[in-house]
Amino acid sequence: MTEPLLRVENLDVAYGRSQALFGVSLEVMPGSMMAVLGANGAGKSTLARAISGLVPASSGTVCFDGQPINGLPAYKIRRLGLTYIPEGRGIFPGLTVNENLRMAVGQEPRGERTAAIERAIDMFPVLGERRSQRAGSLSGGEQQMLALARALAVPPRLIIADEMSLGLAPIVAEAVFQSLDEARRSGITILLIEQFVNRALALADHCAILTRGEVGWTGPAADAQDEVLERYLGAADSSVGEETTS
Ligand code: ATP
């Protein structure tokens, strides 16, 4: 039987005295996409940061490809092929598009870096026209394309995408979703933290809903029907994000 690429077991995370995650467990199978949903403050970003080694867990385990990774520094987790695209994009606004991409491929052998950058630009041609433009001056959608291009330049095994659609117009958010879907079809496993609930459920195979730091519900995305969303996200929240126009 296939083993999960990512297995989180009984994860507790606290910021000082304030506990944010309580015994969170989930499994993500290789090549699949899991949507992580939850109201504001439910602990979605904390889960992403704990998996990526950016905040320590107080107990529990995170295994990536069968290997425990808790306690490893974030850069080592990244090198194992687990890439986190944080909310707010994680690009360097003062550097150009090209410089941002060059930093993303810095660990590659020297002779392979240019090809990796060109591959990334081929995936997002809009970036090709803006190579020498400062990343901070790109539109929100272009910045997310750059964040994805950085993540995909050296193809990772798993991407954690944290609210990439936040603040984007629906048509631009759709382009980002399409790129994530293509990445998944190319074999990359994806943990999708999303506010566009219905869109996330349409793309994902599985879903985990966090409520106040705990997994309230988990199952196939197709089974996350309205009553589940209402119960765990609140009636008003099941359509959160669908009307975002900014
Ligand atoms: P959102 O959708 O608003 O981004 P979220 O589901 O990602 O929310 P988290 O950002 O993980 O939720 O926050 C979970 C809890 O941890 C919240 O109560 C939040 O206030 C708290 N928290 C998050 N980051 C910190 C921090 N750096 N220091 C202290 N508390 C924090």
- Based on the number of CB atoms within 10 Å of its own CB, is 111 exposed (0-12), middle (13-18) or buried (19 or more)? exposed
Contact 215, 25 (CB under 8 A): yes
CA 224 → CA 37, 72, 187, 212, distances in Å?
11, 34, 24, 18
Pairing mode of beta strands 189-193, 33-38: parallel
Tens digit of each residue's pLDDT (9 = 90 or more) over 198-235 = 899 999 999 999 999 999 999 999 988 877 788 778 75
Q: What is residue 154's predicted lDDT score, i.e. its pLDDT?
A: 87
Name which residue sits closest to atom 2 of ligand 1, judged by CA. 40
> Domain coordinates of the chain in residue numbers?
1-81+156-246, 94-154
Instruction: Please give the number of the atom of ligand 1 that sits closest to the Cα of 87.
Output: 4
Q: What is residue 245's predicted lDDT score, i.e. its pLDDT?
A: 40
Whether ligand 1 lies within 6 angstroms of the CB of 41 is answered as yes
Q: What is residue 172's predicted lDDT score, i.e. its pLDDT?
A: 87
Whether ligand 1 lies within 6 angstroms of the CB of 42 is answered as yes
Whether ligand 1 lies within 6 angstroms of the CB of 17 is answered as no
Q: What is residue 63's predicted lDDT score, i.e. its pLDDT?
A: 97
Name which residue sits closest to atom 1 of ligand 1, judged by CA. 40
Residues of the chain with pLDDT under 70: 235-246
What's the gap in Å between 11 CA and the centre of ligand 1?
Answer: 15
Q: What is residue 187's predicted lDDT score, i.e. its pLDDT?
A: 94
pTM of the model: 0.90
Whether ligand 1 lies within 6 angstroms of the CB of 86 is answered as no
- Looking at the domain covering 1-81+156-246, what would its CATH class be? alpha beta
Q: What is residue 117's predicted lDDT score, i.e. its pLDDT?
A: 92
Tens digit of each residue's pLDDT (9 = 90 or more) over 70-88 = 999 999 999 999 999 988 7
Mutation test residue for ligand 1: of 19, 37, 44, the one with most atoms within 8 Å of CB: 44
